[in-house]
Amino acid sequence: MPQELCTSMEKAPQRALLKALGLTDAELKKPLIAIVSARSEIVPGHVHLDRITDAVKAGVYAGGCTPVVVPSIGVCDGLAMGHAGMRYSLPSRELIADSVETMLIGHAFDGAVFVPNCDKIVPGMLMGAARVNIPSVFVSGGPMESGMFKGRKVGLSDVFEGIGAVKSGSMNIDELKELENTACPGCGSCCGMYTANSLNCLTEALGMALPGNGTVLAVWSERIRLAKKTGLAICNLVRDAITPRMIMTKRAFTNALTLDMALGASTNTILHLFAIAAECNISLDLDLVQSVSDATPTLCKLSPSSDKDMEDLHYAGGIMAVLHELAKKKLIDGSAHTVTGEALADSYEHAHVRNTDVIHKIDAPLSPVGGIAVLKGNLAEDGAVVKRSSVDKAMQVFMGKAKCFNCEEDAVAAIYGGKIKKGDVVIIRYEGPAGGPGMREMLSPTSALVGMGLDKDVALVTDGRFSGATRGAAIGHVCPEAAADGKIALVKDGDTIKIDIPNGRLTLDVPAKELQARQKKLRPKDSDVNGWLLRYQNLVTSANNGAVLKKKF
């Protein structure tokens, strides 16, 4: 709080209001720290955040500052999946950033600890932290434990895929019920390298969270200790006047992208890193993503691409061990600043790989290139992305016939109805940032393909996006999107689609004159949204810009 609040006669009314909270004069003389908590009783990753915020408060008090908890909204992507609610997931990121700005500036906090866990909450808070630019540090709620089903580890993605397995006859309804009851055993962000865990890991590489933030399980006492240490850390950051934009520099974002590629993380991280960087006045683009991916070996293959989960990653050495391996080839800039008050290298120099089945050594990687690839061509003139580490070798180069759908629901019905055959390319359009609006995640159709046993024979291309739980030849973020007159709007059933992931190509094999003729006949899809989504639809930019909102209008 400004010093005048503690001493100025004119600020007596503000002090009176703060004393109504139970704060004393002694507490008001200390730096006032916001603990921005996304705790709610609807999100499994957030239901326990009261325990995390209590631990942060203890650390803040121990560090000589005064903590105050303030709220944040949060959408559970799993619960929102497959219906209109998913339209609100990505837009909620902007609301969270705006609410952070509103709460922190409106109440003149000296510093902030952010306590998120799930998908859009982490980047939304990072965007808000960068925008407000007061000393800030992050501690997530931690990953969920894996469930057990028939002697193997399972998670949420297995339940989605189980629906298709029942429809194809490879699983019965009783087995699906058992899977439903065991896949998500308790609190925390879903157990694989999905979007939430990807982003919580990247906050370590960005320098905005203490080591362990991405991998210490939600139910471990170590998570409580980490939260207390985070409370202490914010007091040091306030005293030293270290702010987010001093930490989140271009080299920090490059470090985060490099870690992203080594982990084989969610394609959603590209959207979010671009958006966070924009708040720091830093420009990232898909060409940078591709160059970093081409230079970075894949060191980890985690759920949903394998049976290895976040607990395995932690026991293998965690994120700092991965960074240490990457640093051996000078792929990480260890001089980057962090919320520890020291350089990133000071955090990873003593970390080592403890299990090479989980974190491969830099000289023996799973792949010489990173987990995400950028594809371009006449079907994606401004780019598209694919999690190539989750694509079967047989699908890396693929040619098939298009089956077109103007929404996710129609595609899912066709998959479950047996209308998608081997050799098809499922096209789902008008699901982009503006076209959806909201750029819904396509876990339902990709899981349907896996469950029906088609993931090694059918590709999916969309201007929407994918959950981190997605696997298979799933190509998303196609830009320009259909609503912006992208070529994906011109595809017809039976058109030949060529996919060449190693060479970064996505091509619609239709003559240019025919495409021009189709363009003339194209009529925009009617929009039926109102409220916040209508404003979002008119303000949102392309996915290759992070789907951020326009700053000039």
- Cβ-based neighbour number of residue 527 at 10 Å: 16
Long-range contacts, 392-397 (Cβ 8 Å, 24+): 392/455, 392/456, 392/472, 392/473, 394/456, 395/456, 395/457, 395/459, 395/472, 395/473, 395/499, 396/500, 396/501, 396/502, 397/499, 397/500, 397/501, 397/502
What are the respective helix, strand and coil percentages of the chain, to the nearest 5? 45, 15, 40
136 catalytic? Reply is no
Tell me, rounded to whole angstroms, the distance of Cα 345 from its chain centroid.
25
- The single-letter DSSP state of residue 144 is P
Instruction: Give the C-alpha distances (Å, rounded to integers) separating 166 from 250, 343, 455.
Output: 47, 51, 16
* C-alpha 260, offset from chain centre: 11
Q: Which residues pair with 540 in a beta bridge?
A: 549
Task: For residue 221, give both structure tokens.
Answer: 């006492």
Which one, of 293, 117, 306, lies nearest residue 201 by Cα? 117
Asked if residue 52 lies in contact with residue 60, where contact means CB atoms within 8 angstroms, the answer is no
The catalytic residue among 283, 467, 527, 542 is: 467
Buried b / exposed e across 178-191, counting CB within 10 Å, b at 16+?
ebeebbbbebbbbb
Torsions phi, psi for 362 (to 5 deg): -60, -30
- In this structure, are residues 118 and 194 in contact, taking their beta carbons and an 8 Å threshold? no
Nearest to 426 by CA among 436, 416, 435: 416
DSSP-based three-state secondary structure for 245: helix
Longest dimension (CA), the chain: 76
Distances (CA, A) of 214 to 223, 313, 353, 375, 433: 10, 10, 16, 29, 28
Helix count and strand count (H, E) for the chain:
22, 14
DSSP 8-class letter at 145? P
| CA end-to-end span of the chain | 34
Nearest of 177, 319, 176 to residue 260 by alpha carbon? 319
Distance CA 67, CA 30 (A): 10
Per-residue CA distances from 288 to 38, 292, 295, 475 (Å): 32, 6, 11, 19
The residue type found at 190 is C
d(CA 444, CA 281): 35
- Active centre residues (catalytic): 467
